[in-house]
Amino acid sequence: MQLTKTLLVRIAAGLGLATAATLFTSCAGSMSRKPAVEIFNDMRQQLKYDTQGESQFAGFTDGRADRRPVPGTIARGHLHPQDDPFYTGQVNGMYVGENPLKITPELMELGQQRFNTYCSPCHGRAGTGKGIVAARSSWIPSDLVDARVKGFSDGDFFDVITHGRRTMPSYRFQITEHDRWAIIAYVRALQRTTSGTVADVPSQLRGELR
Ligand code: HEC
């Protein structure tokens, strides 16, 4: 008899505790202007820095919570030979004259796709510098098919896409090295269209010219 009584008391106490716990924890989800009652640490309060926040740590002399990577840090998979023209567009500090990739129809198609995506908004699909951005602003993108830009070496072109030039921003984070070379091959074809003559048209197709 004594045993059952203790057991009952224990069950009642347990139920009481569970109800109290439910009541308290539900406070966190209810609407109130007061700070929620926090019985257990529900991770809202954390010893951490907010993005772009300030740091009180004396070792961070610039006071910033976000730290810059150690100078010279290279992300995994991005360690490239520094003397390979494929990655630099240069040999011995000079721009390479020619595209290091083999020019194939697939490469040209890729270059066209990438050019239309990344370059045409400013330079226009024909490369003449009359893209939609130029039409809507006073910003003047270069005419990529004029004689001056025709005279650029492929390596110089690579440098423009990689680092930007004057007011043109860099596209190295958007476009891989391989695709930059594909774009260059395609721009060469665009430039070629401005100096085409009837002699370039295969003889069996000349009849269709108007
Ligand atoms: C957001 C607009 C914009 C985009 C996108 C853009 N460019 Fe340009 N680009 C410019 C402007 C503006 C200039 C002229 C910069 C100046 O003279 O200040 C320029 C200049 C150039 C030049 C010539 C530099 C010179 O000396 O005149 C080349 C080559 C070039 N862009 C290639 C590209 C290629 C290739 C792409 C695509 C990967 C591209 N641009 C994407 C705006 C753009």
pLDDT tens, 13-69? 777 777 666 555 555 566 888 887 888 877 877 888 989 999 999 999 999 999 999
Cβ–Cβ < 8 Å for 85, 155: yes
* Per-residue tokens: 195: 């100096």
Q: Which atom belonging to ligand 1 lies closest to the Cα atom of 161?
A: 38
Tens-digit pLDDT profile for residues 169-188: 999 999 999 999 999 999 99
d(CA 92, CA 80): 16
Residue to substitute in 110, 116, 142 for testing ligand 1 pocket (most ligand atoms within 8 angstroms of CB): 142
pLDDT at 80: 87
Q: 26 vs 22, 114, 193, 204, CA distance in Å?
A: 6, 54, 71, 82
Q: How far is the CA of 117 from the centre of ligand 1 (A)?
A: 14
pLDDT-derived band at 120, boundaries 50, 70, 90: very high
Ligand 1: list residues with CB < 6 Å: 118-119, 121-123, 133, 139, 141-142, 144, 149, 157, 160-161, 165-168, 171, 175, 183, 187
Cβ–Cβ < 8 Å for 86, 177: yes
d(CA 121, CA 124): 6
Q: Is the pLDDT of residue 164 over 90?
A: yes
pLDDT at 21: 61
Q: What is the mean pLDDT of the chain?
A: 89
Q: How far is the CA of 120 from the centre of ligand 1 (A)?
A: 10
pLDDT at 119: 98
pLDDT at 174: 97
Among protein residues, the one with the nearest Cα to ligand 1's atom 2 is 122
Among protein residues, the one with the nearest Cα to ligand 1's atom 12 is 141
pLDDT at 96: 96
Please give the average per-residue pLDDT across 2-12, as a whole number.
75
d(CA 25, CA 30): 10
More confident residue, 151 or 83: 151
pLDDT at 183: 98
* Per-residue tokens: 44: 């809202």
pLDDT-derived band at 89, boundaries 50, 70, 90: very high
Q: How far is the CA of 79 from the centre of ligand 1 (A)?
A: 27
Non-local CB neighbours of 160 within 8 Å, separated by 6+ positions:
152, 168
Q: Is the pLDDT of residue 146 over 90?
A: yes
